[in-house]
Amino acid sequence: MTQDTETRPLDIIIVGAGIGGLTAALGLRQQGHKVTLFERSQLAKEVGAAIHLAPNCHGILKRFGVFPESFGANRVEGVTEYTGDGHLKFDNNLKGPLSVWEHPWVLAHRVSLHENLKNQATSREGPGTPAILKTSSPVVDVDPSTATVKFEDGTTASGDLVLGADGVSSITRSIVTGSDIKPYGSGKSAFRFMIPHSDILKNEKTRPFAERTGTMTMWMGDDRRLVMYPCSNNTVMNFVAIHPSSITSGANKGSGWGNGGSKELLREVYKDFEPRVLALLDLVDVSELKLWTLLDMDRISTWHKDRLVLLGDAAHPFLPHQGQGGGIAIEDAASLVALFPLGTTANDVPSRLALYEKIRDERAHTVQTFTRQAGEDLNEEKRAQFNSE
């Protein structure tokens, strides 16, 4: 083998330019590979709310040169839980407990994180060859044996390796698994919205919830919950309102964040919650209110086929109850980066992908199981059992 062969970069295609795909692009570019991302959308106006960056993924981002606190992420400093009718269950300061981790748990605006990853992956500055990002490029098929992707217009592109990072509605998933495994409704839906911190401070009823920085506040009913936490340097409060899908079954919902929600319906769902919650909901700008179905999926039989491999939601859609969907996608990306240093040959690809699956499968699905448990409804009987264990 010649020196040129040993150091030839791999030509890597990434289908999808979400957080997982862009993290992989940034890391693989830093390893010295040629990376091209094909994204279905125009990325003209990214949508999203806040994202949890727990220590497990925060440290990875910093290793790749991404520092969330530099673009508005704020540290989690406490967590408070109320019952739906306003009875305080606990109010915990987390500064001490969280200090055991090397990296802090931070809350970032998803759009800010996405933009930073995109800019660093494609920038002329930094190590490696800048990744190429091609938008409005919907992939409709992949040949795993030749690492060739086919686009909607009939054209193709080929490389040494294809990463399927095309999200919950993945095209690449069925090609890898050979089956029609698709996400299904979990029985829960969620409203998501953001309220300026200043608006909450101005309101006499809601002011106490905005007087402390870095605090995550939860109201837990028997079958519905409201979670509030800050982002963007504590200037915006992010809300997720999880409830039974049957209550909002007549509304226009999707699997993403693009569907608008009704403020009247939101108030109806939480009408029995304490008055301060209803005062918070009165502050919602209806143009920012989104409603979507929370999706789950059965465990896939394999993550890879020949030269095609899955990561992120394409492999394991996450429910939001522990804020780990983005974090596990970032872990997936980092694992691929570690397994494909410069000098990896095209012949090495299949065996490295088998090792990747061995590394990631149990880890991702264990966290997924804990996430499902965290989302279980807790009536009084279950709460008593939980508190006694």
pLDDT in tens, 300-324: 999 999 999 999 999 999 999 888 9
Q: CA separation (Å) from 242 to 24, 83, 236, 270, 301?
A: 31, 14, 20, 10, 30
Alpha-carbon span 109 to 133, nearest angstrom: 22
pLDDT band at 19 (very low <50, low <70, confident <90, very high): very high
Q: What is the mean pLDDT of residues 116-134?
A: 97
14, β-bridge pairs: 37, 163
Same fold for the pair 3-59+108-182+298-374 and 184-296? no
pLDDT band at 377 (very low <50, low <70, confident <90, very high): confident
For tokens 């939860």, name the residue: 218
Alpha-carbon span 94 to 214, nearest angstrom: 10
Which position has the higher pLDDT, 380 or 301? Answer: 301
Inform me whether the pLDDT recorded for 48 exceeds 80: no
**CB-based contacts of 86, cutoff 8 Å, min separation 6:** 219, 273, 274, 275, 276, 277
**CB-based contacts of 46, cutoff 8 Å, min separation 6:** 110, 111, 114, 115
Inform me whether the pLDDT recorded for 71 exceeds 60: yes
230, β-bridge pairs: 237
Question: Which structure tokens are listed for 313?
Answer: 């939601």
Q: What are phi and psi of 146, to 5 degrees?
A: -115, 5
pLDDT band at 1 (very low <50, low <70, confident <90, very high): very low
Please indicate, yes or no, whether the overall pTM of this predicted structure exceeds 0.85: yes
Q: What is the pLDDT of residue 383?
A: 53
Q: CA separation (Å) from 9 to 89, 341, 355?
A: 55, 9, 20
pLDDT in tens, 182-241: 999 999 999 999 999 999 999 999 999 999 889 999 999 999 999 999 999 999 999 999
Q: CA separation (Å) from 135 to 13, 138, 258?
A: 13, 8, 18
Protein fold of 3-59+108-182+298-374: FAD/NAD(P)-binding domain (3.50.50)
pLDDT band at 386 (very low <50, low <70, confident <90, very high): very low
Share of the chain above pLDDT 70, in %: 92
Nearest alpha-carbon partner for 164 in 5, 316, 355: 316
CATH of 184-296, one of 2.60.40.10, 1.25.40.10, 3.30.9.30, 1.10.1040.10: 3.30.9.30
Our CA angle for 253, 256, 261, nearest 5°, is: 40
Domain ranges of the chain: 3-59+108-182+298-374, 184-296
Inform me whether the pLDDT recorded for 72 exceeds 60: yes
- For the beta carbon of residue 145, count every other beta carbon within 10 angstroms: 10
Q: What is the pLDDT of residue 253?
A: 55
